[in-house]
Structure 1
């Protein structure tokens, strides 16, 4: 587990998407965890420490992942969700098509 490694130093091409089921031991580890990336106590560092005393499992997620940690990603996620949802698909698609036509005029 590595928090935000540089691309050339990443140990794999996997990403942690931030969904965890953790045992209570993580709290004691976090209490004593030294600051890591960005000078902050990182949960990923604590999980790595936990992994030294008990098995930690991961699930490979197969699907589209969205980064909602920034404004653009949040908007993209909302649009994708809206286009996939049966109650909003038609109206949102029509809106986007009309918006594209308006933007092309400018």
Structure 2
């Protein structure tokens, strides 16, 4: 998804490229929620309802924070700043999350 965002930044003049990157982003966005729920159901078998509620809360918080910080970047700088900000945020999150082995049950 970060690659699609970078593609939007660098190839934003081409309508076809923008459409392709947005379509790929939409497919990835949909797939990520299914992957996340599957992972949760396999690793939190003792309290799946609580895990699902926690996931919904995390998604809602993410939407809220995206609206706040994206709006500040848009109002203070430009639309390009929102794209660059999302790439920076993804780059910071990647080392924190890694590939998730410490989150899986042993």
Scaled by the length of structure 2, the TM-score of the pair is 0.26
Scaled by the length of structure 1, the TM-score of the pair is 0.26
Structure with greater helix percent = 2
Higher CA-based Rg: 1
